[in-house]
Chains A and B, each alone.
Chain A
Amino acid sequence: MMTWLPAFLASVGRAVLGPCAAVGRVTLFAARVLSHLPRPPFYFREFGRQLLQIGYFSLPVVGLTALFTGGALALQIYSGGARFNAEAVVPTVVAIAMVRELGPVLGGLMVAGRVSSSIAAEIGTMRVTEQIDALTTLSTNPLKYLVVPRIAAATVAMPVLAFIGDVIGIMGGFLVGTRRLGFNGATYINNTWDFLEFGDVTSGLVKAATFGFILALMGCYHGYHSGRGAQGVGQATTRAVVSASVLILASNYVLTELFFTS
């Protein structure tokens, strides 16, 4: 009798310990990466390449996402606002929503899909084909050479991408507002400009930098610890995108609490 109890408790224990151990491993990995950040040698050429890969080549994705989101937002807020005769809030609400929330979050998620996966696949393949071992034997620290430049580049590039996304998103709202909803162009711009606060923009950019760090960290972590063979790399890629997306959304909530409840 009661033979099921130890087995049951063990499975509960496993379910709790597994995630805790994973969080610990990721934290240690992040700490190691950060400790390498200020110490030479610095691989500037790698950093530049990653800036191009992660930042520049993500521009179309982020731009299109922001454009359509800004447009849809304008339509939604207009119809919602009409219920209490507040159609005039469209420019302000579009701007605030884009800059504070949707620019960084949607941009982060899109870049996570594009970049976390490719980082995980690239580093995972390097792990599986012994290229990471080869780096070590060639007196090059793979964390410094592969991981630090990617994480630094993503952390720098994401705020810039988010800022461009903000501008394009507001432009999307402007286009819909003036072409479809009958707003006057100058009034729209004035309303956007007058009610937008500096803090709205900077909080969004800080969020974006955090998301950039997270999405590159997840790509690097899962790639670096990729299992063996093509299957291992495939799994690493999936895990990178899923964990990056979930962590972006979770940290977005935490950051929003921090910024706007005080």
Chain B
Amino acid sequence: MITFCDIHKSFGANRVLCGMTLEVGAGESMVIIGGSGSGKSVSLKCVLGLVTPDKGTITVHGRDAAAGERDAFLAGFGMLFQGGALFDSLSVWQNVAFRLLRGKLKRPREEARGIALKKLRRVGLRPEVADLFPAELSGGMQKRVGLARAIATDPGIIFFDEPTAGLDPIMSGVINGLIREIVVETGATAITITHDMLSVRAIADKVAMLHDGKVQWTGPVADMDSSGDPYLDQFVNARATGPIRAVR
């Protein structure tokens, strides 16, 4: 279970989060929606300690995320970054098995490679891809490799940051399906960031909408269309007019 309690974060004069409060239950698939630049990525980075909140606390399974041993804490997480963030000096399988090749979870090379191949197969990539470099892959394949890396050590909590951004509709559908399957299969707690409504409907148990640094609306995905919240309505129905200004 992950709770955000009154999170504030500014970058200089740019106030990104101001009072974000959200609860994500264990085993739940939460999708955070919101306009670009509304602080969705920043909120995930706060959980992982990549960004330190100015104010507020985040707890994971009841423990303060900012306190305690970082390595052990992070070992329970998998993260798919917005741009993939694959290491371009390492081959695909070494990217996927990164955690298994060094540090506390280190395994023999052959075993790590075996696990990497298994995870690659899980996301629909052939073993031939394993020895290519990220730069040799298409955008959709890079996303899949990122996905494989995020699930390589079967983490209990997985974050997906805009998993379908920049992909064609068919590939988006495939990635959405994969994420849903992985979440159901592993029983992991998942937070997905997206502004693609198709992804929301495919992945979410619950939805939270971030606007003006706060959670504007949250509830089960089934209630999304009948929420009566003007902000959410405007977003869901992609209208240019409404309470959210189209010019920013």
Using a CB–CB distance below 8 Å, which chain A residues touch chain B? 41, 43, 126, 129-131, 133-140
Minimum C-beta distance from B143 to chain A (A): 14
**Distance between Cα atoms of A228 and B71 in the complex (Å):** 27
Contact code string B78-91 (vs A, CB < 8 Å = 1, else 0): 01011111111000
Contact A134 B81 (CB under 8 A): yes
Q: Which residue of A lies closest to B77 (CB)?
A: A137
Using a CB–CB distance below 8 Å, which chain B residues touch chain A? 45, 48-50, 70-71, 74-75, 77, 79, 81-88, 98-99, 102-105, 149
Picked from B48, B83, B103, B104, the residue with its CB within 8 Å of the CB of A137 is B48
**Distance between Cα atoms of A133 and B51 in the complex (Å):** 10
Minimum C-beta distance from A253 to chain B (A): 37
Contact B81 A130 (CB under 8 A): yes
Minimum C-beta distance from B232 to chain A (A): 29
What are the 9 tightest A-B residue pairs by CB atom distance, in nearest-first order?
A134-B85, A130-B85, A139-B71, A130-B81, A137-B79, A139-B74, A133-B50, A131-B85, A138-B98
Give the chain A neighbours of B98 by CB distance below 8 A: 138, 140
Give the chain B neighbours of A138 by CB distance below 8 A: 74, 98-99, 149
Contact A133 B81 (CB under 8 A): yes
Give the chain A neighbours of B70 by CB distance below 8 A: 139
Q: Which residue of B lies closest to A126 (CB)?
A: B87
Q: Which residue of A lies closest to B99 (CB)?
A: A138
Give the chain B neighbours of A41 by CB distance below 8 A: 102-103
Contact B48 A136 (CB under 8 A): yes
- 16 A-B residue pairings within 8 Å (CB atoms): A41-B103, A126-B87, A129-B85, A130-B82, A130-B83, A131-B86, A133-B48, A133-B81, A136-B74, A137-B48, A137-B50, A137-B77, A138-B99, A139-B71, A139-B105, A140-B103
The CB with the most chain B CB atoms within 10 A, among A41, A43, A130, A139, is that of: A139
Contact A133/B103 with A138-B98, A139-B74, A139-B75 known, Cβ cut-off 8 Å: no
Picked from B45, B77, B102, B149, the residue with its CB within 8 Å of the CB of A133 is B45
Give the chain A neighbours of B75 by CB distance below 8 A: 139
**Distance between Cα atoms of A138 and B81 in the complex (Å):** 12
| Known pairs A129-B85, A137-B74, A140-B98 / 6 extra A-B pairs, C-beta < 8 Å | A41-B102, A136-B48, A136-B74, A137-B77, A138-B98, A139-B71
Q: Which residue of A lies closest to B71 (CB)?
A: A139
